[in-house]
């Protein structure tokens, strides 16, 4: 086990599951009513995996990510659910389970004691106490925010913003060691070392985004949540950043939860993709499966909302209509007003995530079309999707 | 640096404007207050003094430009004319006597008010949603709306007159000899407490609510959220990330509000008969002592400009973005 | 001027090109719209974020739409009014102001005592015959307060209008023309902004040949126009970039028409909110100047009451009824203004609201995390 750790081959080191979200629900309480921003979401993240969360604005993907990190503020309220985190553990000489994280230099695995019940391996983030949560933050879970300009303290130098997180979590590091580490991180993301004394407004947009990534990597976390990190950048910069992220991930082995509305991006980047609509996951599966055979009509619609450069020509249809107001979500399946396949049960019964094709057990979909009891005719094929969407767009153009 | 140079340029213009306004006002005044005054004093003062009054008011038939140059020259030599109230004391002497009292009172009171208000504002913003936060702002809003001098009157009446907790007027006990002795200092502090308290109570609400509001806005910024996400200590997030940014608009606000605070404090001095600039101003008005009045205006204006400039420097020091501003 | 800016306004920075973040500009963003509650936190983490329509979106061309300017202005003002009165604080403040205005207009009709008449009861405390007691010369304090209300509020309004007009002219011109005109006007504005108002006003008033409310009004106007100008300048600068202005210029409208008939109506709620603040500021300023003795000795106003009370050592004689009532009136008016301001702040910046949470039974008993806990 220890050798596996020292080799930096994290995938072998422990159970494969890193994070397990179970039935997480988040509500926003407002004077006008309760909004269910995230509704009974369950998903797992494996070690070294890139999980993509996709969906239109307001579908709850950001809320979900911040809920996992417990960074939501009132009026947001986590009403139910657990988020189990499986820290890397090893059993030490005394037979006690300890959590260890491997530093970037692959030195001695550092032992860091989180409060783990000896019998359990996992820790419920939702139940962590204040001190525990603070220790957990950034050492295990870091976040790359969408707008680097807004996420960086405008009156603090970049170097200080890297070093203060080192100071908070690695008290044994002296000022020189911290500075060295900061320089190292800047080099890692491709920022000139003299920028350590620069202020955020003195850097270009791309550099700022990279600085944010550098800060996120400071303590070698296991999970990095990236909230639309490239949306605010131009395509060229976008590509550079994504290459950067992929390279760093291969080098350091962290897992990523990547939030974006750009599904095409995820198809290239992510291992697993979960598509959200109106606060629920409507489909999840490997990126290949999703690309090759999307099951949920919404997924199909999303995939066909952008043209591809390569591959067979296809109609760019888009999805008529717009996402529902979360204060007034349609009954049954929330997508039913816009769905070209909507039939009787769709307005009455809420579909749950289940396997669509028994041979591909990883791909789950929440749609009645795949429920043999409700839809005996069987699942629709690709051409049917295309037809239905085409006629839907005809009708919506006509109206 | 460029930014600072621009600001210095601006303040130089403002200083010039104050000086020139001071020069022009008596000469542009309709009617002729100066002549009436001179007539009043005719025969009662020495010819040289009369002449200097005439020069001061521009009654001499010299060209306006010549007068202006003369005025500037006088100014450079610290000659602001003679005070009528304290005749024949030069205005400069009178002012220099009063300035320390005013600086001590208003200066200290304003600084205390600003610092205390800012700290409490931070505290209140951090404790958002509690009963404290819902109760205090309305109370303070009401308090801040009370005119300074009325609050001074009330507090003087209640605390000094009725309850005898504080001395009634003056800067110090007349029986005590002024100077650097303990008795004097104690007496001065005693007399200064109530006016200072009035100024602080009147002005603190502004700073407090201002800071609270900017803090609340700042606390919802992404960089504060990121600081929390980083697992930093609460105090560091509050001070180094939130407050450090929230205070910037308030420093600008401080500079601008300073004019108001000074005005109000002058009225407080009047109510308390405190031997400072405000009281001198009142006497100047009552006695039509134009020279003193103008001298006081100039001093006050320059002091406020200096304070504004200082606030600008502090602002530039605290906000790296300003230093980089495009010219 | 006797106190900190009662509006507690952070002043727009020197070089800002856009509307500064202060109450008046927040007001501008609300104009003519319905306020819909934002039901979640900001920064895109909101599940639902019904937009508050911005002045930019609702700024519309006036000419060429067939609607007369007055209708447009009335429409905007009423929209703003509706939104404002829904807020409790604003409603409270406005009702207080309305009360005082009623007193100012109708009060003297119901008070039959002449405020200037002497009587035998010298310096007597409140009683049945003199509700608020009498002065050193036997004048009825209550009558003086009522008549004084009329004087103070009337002159306050007049001066407020004057100041507002000047602010509009200078602010809009500076914001619209830009370039050298703006540079000069801005310098002018900033210098006057930084000079202390009260001392300058004292010097100006002292030199006026006649003393009285008119002098005070003129002097206050000369020292108080700068703030509003700066706000409107910033507002205009952002308005100027909007499409409707370009459209108006392209269609050959005369510049003055554009400024006063296109841009100004779109800024009218900023002006309206600023007007309320200005009037109250002016009332206090007037009282201060009169207190020092720069008013007319014969006119009855709140400020003059202070003057006479102070000069007759009312305080030392314990005659609190002389100076407490006028001050209380001003204080209450000032508080009303502050409440309006507070309310507008809350409306424009939803984060400042103290929302009352609906009593919702959550399926589980997880507690909402306060900011404090979230940080820990």
Q: Is residue C107 helix, strand or coil?
A: helix
Q: How many CB pairs under 8 A join A and C?
A: 103
Q: Which segment of A5-14, B132-141, B286-295, C153-162 scores lowest on mean pLDDT? A: A5-14
Bridge partners of C140?
A: C134
CA distance A283 to A296: 6
C89 is written with which tokens? 């604080």
Pairing of β A97-101 and β A110-112: antiparallel
Is there a contact between A63 and C45 if contact means CB atoms under 8 Å apart?
yes
- Among the partner-chain residues C1, C207, C372, the one whose CB lies closest to the CB of B29 is C207
**Chain C residues closer than 8 Å to B213 by CB:** 345, 349, 352
Say which residues have a Cβ less than 8 Å from residue A216's Cβ, sequence separation at least 6.
A138, A142, A143, A144, A224
Question: A146 and A227 in contact (C-beta within 8 Å)?
Answer: yes
Is there a contact between A168 and B321 if contact means CB atoms under 8 Å apart?
no
Pairing of β A360-365 and β A280-286: antiparallel
A95 or A134: which leads in pLDDT: A134
**B7–chain C nearest CA distance, Å:** 10
CA distance C254 to C248: 9
- pLDDT at position C70 over 90: no
The residue-averaged pLDDT of C264-276 equals 80
Query: Within chain B, which residues score under 50 in pLDDT?
Result: 326-327
Is there a contact between A30 and C355 if contact means CB atoms under 8 Å apart?
yes
Cβ count near C41 (within 10 Å): 22
Terminal-residue alpha carbon distance, chain A: 64
**Chain C residues closer than 8 Å to A70 by CB:** 369, 374
A61 is written with which tokens? 């993907």
CA distance B113 to C2: 16
Asked if A127 is an interface residue toward chain C (Cβ–Cβ < 8 A), one would say no
- Among the partner-chain residues C41, C206, C336, the one whose CB lies closest to the CB of B290 is C206
Backbone φ and ψ of C78, nearest 5°:
-70, -35
- Among the partner-chain residues B25, B150, B216, the one whose CB lies closest to the CB of C203 is B25
Q: DSSP for A330-377, please give it.
A: PSSSTTTTT-TT--HHHHHS----EEEETTEEEEEE--GGG-TTT-TT
CA distance A364 to A256: 20
Q: Which residues of A touch B (CB under 8 A)?
A: 69, 71, 73-74, 133-139, 142-143, 145-147, 150-156, 164-165, 168-169, 199, 201-202, 215
- Among the partner-chain residues B129, B236, B318, the one whose CB lies closest to the CB of A155 is B318
- pLDDT at position A170 over 50: yes
- Among the partner-chain residues C194, C206, C288, the one whose CB lies closest to the CB of B14 is C194
Question: B304 and B262 in contact (C-beta within 8 Å)?
Answer: yes
Chains touching chain A, criterion 3+ CB pairs below 8 Å:
B, C
Q: DSSP for B262-317, please give it.
A: HHHHHHHHHHTT-TTHHHHHHHHHHTT-HHHHHHHHHHHHHHHHHHHHHHHHHHHH
Give the chain B residue nearest C1 (alpha carbons): B263
**CA separation, residue B217 to residues B125, B209, B221, B229, C348 (Å):** 9, 12, 7, 18, 12
**Chain B residues closer than 8 Å to C342 by CB:** 137-138, 141
Is there a contact between A156 and B240 if contact means CB atoms under 8 Å apart?
yes
CA distance C135 to B298: 37
Chain C window 280-339: which residues touch B at a Cβ cutoff of 8 Å? 284, 287-288, 291-294, 306, 310, 315-316, 318, 320, 323-324, 327, 330-339
Is there a contact between C373 and A63 if contact means CB atoms under 8 Å apart?
no
pLDDT value at residue B223: 94
**Most distant CA pair in chain C: distance in Å?**
78
**A200–chain B nearest CA distance, Å:** 9
**Chain B residues closer than 8 Å to C345 by CB:** 213
Give the chain A residue nearest B232 (alpha carbons): A168
CA distance A107 to A101: 10
Q: Which segment of A104-108, A364-368, B160-164, C304-308 scores lowest on mean pLDDT? A: A104-108
- pLDDT at position C269 over 80: no
Backbone φ and ψ of A214, nearest 5°:
-60, -45
Is there a contact between C358 and A279 if contact means CB atoms under 8 Å apart?
no
Element (H, E) at A18: strand A17-30
The residue-averaged pLDDT of C324-334 equals 87
Sheet strands side by side (includes A280-286) = A141-144, A223-227, A255-260, A50-54, A272-277, A280-286, A360-365, A354-357
**Chain C residues closer than 8 Å to A33 by CB:** 39, 358
- pLDDT at position A204 over 60: yes
pLDDT value at residue A98: 52
The residue-averaged pLDDT of C112-140 equals 77
Give the chain A residue nearest C42 (alpha carbons): A73
pLDDT value at residue B163: 76
**C366–chain A nearest CA distance, Å:** 6
Q: What is the DSSP letter of A281?
A: E
**B284–chain C nearest CA distance, Å:** 9
C350 or A341: which leads in pLDDT: A341
Q: Which residues of C touch A (CB under 8 A)?
A: 37-41, 43-49, 355-358, 360, 362-364, 366, 368-371, 373-374, 376
The residue-averaged pLDDT of C198-206 equals 88
Radius of gyration of chain B (CA): 24
- pLDDT tens figures, C172-196: 889 888 889 998 999 999 899 888 8
Q: What is the DSSP letter of A319?
A: -
CA distance C339 to B209: 12
Pairing of β A272-277 and β A50-54: parallel
Q: Is residue A77 helix, strand or coil?
A: strand
Backbone φ and ψ of A72, nearest 5°:
-75, 150
- Among the partner-chain residues B153, B202, B253, the one whose CB lies closest to the CB of C10 is B253
Is there a contact between A155 and B232 if contact means CB atoms under 8 Å apart?
no
Asked if A260 is an interface residue toward chain C (Cβ–Cβ < 8 A), one would say no
Burial of residue C65, with CB atoms counted within 10 A of its CB: 0-12 exposed, 13-18 middle, 19 or more buried: exposed
- Among the partner-chain residues A30, A131, A146, the one whose CB lies closest to the CB of C39 is A30
**CA separation, residue B161 to residues A72, B278, C297, C320, C321 (Å):** 55, 22, 27, 11, 15
The residue-averaged pLDDT of C306-321 equals 81
Is there a contact between A25 and C356 if contact means CB atoms under 8 Å apart?
no
Is there a contact between C42 and B18 if contact means CB atoms under 8 Å apart?
no
Pairing of β A223-227 and β A141-144: parallel
In a mutagenesis test of the C interface, which of A26, A79, A151 is the best target, namely the one with the most C β-carbons within 10 Å? Answer: A79
A86 is written with which tokens? 């499986």
Burial of residue B24, with CB atoms counted within 10 A of its CB: 0-12 exposed, 13-18 middle, 19 or more buried: middle
- pLDDT at position A265 over 60: yes
Is there a contact between B142 and C335 if contact means CB atoms under 8 Å apart?
yes
- Among the partner-chain residues C196, C207, C334, the one whose CB lies closest to the CB of B147 is C334
Is there a contact between A31 and C356 if contact means CB atoms under 8 Å apart?
yes
Give the chain B residue nearest A74 (alpha carbons): B129
Q: What is the DSSP letter of A36?
A: E
The residue written with tokens 């392209």 in the block is C250
Asked if C357 is an interface residue toward chain B (Cβ–Cβ < 8 A), one would say no
pLDDT value at residue C114: 78
Give the chain C residue nearest B308 (alpha carbons): C194
Highest mean pLDDT among A9-18, C21-30, C74-83 belongs to C74-83
Asked if C206 is an interface residue toward chain B (Cβ–Cβ < 8 A), one would say yes
Write the ipTM: 0.84
Q: What is the DSSP letter of B223?
A: H
Domains annotated for chain B, with CATH where assigned, are 103-276 (1.10.3720.10)
Q: How confident is the model at residue C325 (pLDDT cuts 50, 70, 90)?
A: confident
Give the chain B residue nearest C315 (alpha carbons): B157
Look over chain C and give the mean of its residue pLDDT values, rounded to a whole number.
Answer: 72
**Is the Cα torsion angle A354, A359, A361, A362 positive or negative in sign?**
negative
Q: Which residues of C284-323 are buried (b: 16+ CB within 10 A; e: fewer)?
A: bbbbbbbbbbbbbeebbbbbbbbbbbbebebbeeebbbbb
- pLDDT tens figures, C345-373: 777 666 666 544 444 443 333 333 333 33
pLDDT value at residue B205: 85
Chains touching chain B, criterion 3+ CB pairs below 8 Å:
A, C
CA distance A122 to A84: 6
Chain C window 25-84: which residues touch B at a Cβ cutoff of 8 Å? 41-43
- Among the partner-chain residues B222, B232, B324, the one whose CB lies closest to the CB of A147 is B222
CA distance B321 to B3: 11
**Chain B residues closer than 8 Å to C208 by CB:** 29-30
How many residues comprise chain B?
327
Look over chain A and give the mean of its residue pLDDT values, rounded to a whole number.
Answer: 82
Q: Which segment of A119-133, A176-190, A350-364, B111-125 scores lowest on mean pLDDT? A: A119-133
């Amino acid at each position: 086990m220890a050798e596996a750790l020292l080799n930096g081959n994290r995938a072998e080191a422990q159970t494969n599951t890193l994070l397990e979200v179970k039935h997480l629900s988040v509500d926003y309480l407002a004077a006008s009513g309760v909004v269910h921003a995230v509704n009974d979401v369950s998903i797992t993240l494996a070690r070294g995996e890139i999980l993509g969360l996709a969906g239109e604005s307001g579908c709850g993907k950001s809320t979900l990510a911040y809920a996992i990190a417990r960074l939501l503020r009132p009026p947001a309220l986590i009403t139910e659910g657990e988020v189990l985190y499986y820290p890397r553990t090893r059993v030490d000489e005394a037979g006690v389970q300890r959590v260890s994280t491997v530093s970037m230099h692959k030195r001695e695995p550092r032992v860091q004691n989180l409060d783990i019940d000896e019998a359990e391996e996992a820790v419920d983030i939702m139940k962590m106490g204040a001190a525990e949560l603070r220790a957990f933050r950034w050492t295990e879970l870091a976040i790359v925010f969408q707008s680097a300009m807004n996420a960086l303290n405008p009156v603090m130098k970049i170097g200080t913003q890297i070093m203060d997180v080192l100071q908070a979590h690695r008290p044994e590091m002296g000022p020189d060691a911290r500075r060295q580490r900061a320089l190292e991180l800047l080099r890692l993301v491709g920022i000139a070392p003299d920028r350590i004394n620069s202020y955020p407004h003195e850097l270009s947009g791309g550099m700022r985004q990279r600085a944010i990534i550098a800060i996120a990597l400071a303590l070698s976390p296991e999970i990095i949540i990236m909230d639309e990190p490239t949306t605010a950048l131009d395509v060229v910069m976008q590509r550079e950043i994504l290459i950067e992220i992929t390279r760093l991930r291969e080098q350091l082995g962290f897992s990523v939860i990547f939030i974006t509305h750009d599904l095409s991006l995820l198809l290239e980047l992510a291992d697993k993709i979960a598509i959200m609509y109106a606060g629920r996951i409507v489909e999840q599966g490997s990126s290949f499966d999703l690309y090759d055979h999307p099951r949920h009509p919404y997924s199909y619609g999303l995939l066909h909302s952008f043209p591809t450069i390569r591959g067979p020509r296809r109609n760019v249809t888009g999805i008529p209509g717009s996402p529902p107001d979360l204060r007034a979500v349609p009954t049954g399946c929330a997508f039913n007003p816009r769905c070209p396949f909507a039939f009787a049960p769709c307005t009455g019964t809420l579909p749950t995530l289940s396997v669509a094709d028994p041979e591909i057990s990883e791909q789950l979909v929440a749609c009645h079309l795949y429920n043999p009891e409700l839809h005996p005719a069987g699942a629709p094929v690709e051409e049917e999707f295309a037809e239905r969407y085409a006629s839907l767009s005809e009708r919506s153009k006509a109206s | 640096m460029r930014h600072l140079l621009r600001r210095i340029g601006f303040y130089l213009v403002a200083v010039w404007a104050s000086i020139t306004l001071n020069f022009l006002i008596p000469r542009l005044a309709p009617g002729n207050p100066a002549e009436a005054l001179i007539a009043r004093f005719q025969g009662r003062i020495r010819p040289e003094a009369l002449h200097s009054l005439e020069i001061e008011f521009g009654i001499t038939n010299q060209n306006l430009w010549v007068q202006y140059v003369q005025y500037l020259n006088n100014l450079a030599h610290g000659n602001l004319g003679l005070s009528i109230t304290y005749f024949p004391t030069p205005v400069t002497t009178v002012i220099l006597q009063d300035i320390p009292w005013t600086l001590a009172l208003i200066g200290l009171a304003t600084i205390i008010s600003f610092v205390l208000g800012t700290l409490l504002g931070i505290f209140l913003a951090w404790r958002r949603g509690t009963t404290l936060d819902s109760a205090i702002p309305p109370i303070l809003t009401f308090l801040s709306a009370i005119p300074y001098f009325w609050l001074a009157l009330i507090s003087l009446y209640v605390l000094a007159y009725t309850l005898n907790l504080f001395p009634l007027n003056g800067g110090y006990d007349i029986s005590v000899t002024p100077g650097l002795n303990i008795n004097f200092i104690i007496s001065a502090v005693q007399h200064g407490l109530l006016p200072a308290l009035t100024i602080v109570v009147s002005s603190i609400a502004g700073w407090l609510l201002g800071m609270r509001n900017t803090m609340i806005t700042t606390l919802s910024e992404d960089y504060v959220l990121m600081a929390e996400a980083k697992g930093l200590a609460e105090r560091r997030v509050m001070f180094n990330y939130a407050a450090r940014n929230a205070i910037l608009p308030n420093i600008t606000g401080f500079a601008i509000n300073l004019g108001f605070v000074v005005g109000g404090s002058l009225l407080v001095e009047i109510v308390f008969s405190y031997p400072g600039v405000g009281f001198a101003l009142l006497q100047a008005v009552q006695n039509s002592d134009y020279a003193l009045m103008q001298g006081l205006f100039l001093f006050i204006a320059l002091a406020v400009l200096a304070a504004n400039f200082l606030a600008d420097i502090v602002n530039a020091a605290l906000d790296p973005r300003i230093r980089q501003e495009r010219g | 001027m006797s106190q900190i800016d009662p509006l507690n306004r952070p002043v727009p920075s020197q070089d800002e090109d856009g509307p500064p973040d202060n109450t008046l500009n927040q007001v501008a963003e609300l104009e003519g719209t319905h306020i819909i509650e934002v039901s979640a936190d900001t920064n895109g983490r909101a599940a639902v974020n019904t937009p508050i329509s911005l002045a930019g979106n609702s700024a519309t061309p006036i000419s060429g739409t067939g609607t007369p300017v007055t209708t447009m202005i009335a429409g905007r003002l009423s929209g703003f009014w509706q939104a404002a009165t829904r807020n409790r604080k604003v409603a409270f403040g406005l009702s207080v102001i309305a009360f005082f205005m009623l007193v100012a207009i109708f009060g003297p009709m119901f008070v039959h005592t002449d405020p200037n008449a002497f009587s035998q009861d010298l310096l007597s405390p409140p009683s049945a015959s003199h509700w608020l007691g009498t002065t050193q010369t036997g004048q009825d304090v209550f009558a003086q307060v009522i008549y004084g209300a009329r004087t103070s509020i009337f002159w306050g309004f007049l001066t407020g209008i004057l100041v507002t007009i000047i602010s509009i002219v200078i602010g809009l011109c500076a914001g619209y023309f830009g370039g050298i005109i703006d540079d000069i006007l801005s310098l002018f504005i900033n210098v006057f902004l930084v000079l202390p108002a009260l001392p300058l006003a004292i010097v100006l008033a002292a030199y006026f040949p006649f003393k009285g409310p008119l002098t005070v009004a003129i002097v206050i106007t000369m020292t108080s126009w700068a703030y509003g100008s700066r706000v409107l300048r910033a507002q205009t600068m952002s308005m100027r970039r909007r499409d409707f202005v370009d459209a108006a210029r392209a269609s050959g409208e005369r510049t003055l028409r554009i400024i006063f008939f296109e841009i100004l109506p779109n800024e009218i709620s900023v002006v309206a909110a600023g007007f309320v603040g200005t009037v109250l500021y002016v009332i206090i300023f007037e009282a201060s100047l009169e207190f020092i003795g720069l008013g007319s000795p014969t006119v009855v106003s709140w400020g003059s009451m202070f003057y006479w009370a102070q000069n007759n050592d009312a305080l030392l004689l314990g005659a609190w009824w002389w100076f407490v009532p006028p001050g209380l009136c001003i204080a209450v008016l000032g508080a009303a203004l502050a409440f309006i301001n507070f309310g507008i702040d809350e409306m424009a910046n939803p984060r400042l609201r103290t929302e009352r949470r609906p009593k919702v039974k959550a399926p589980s008993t997880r507690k909402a995390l306060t900011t404090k806990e979230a940080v820990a």
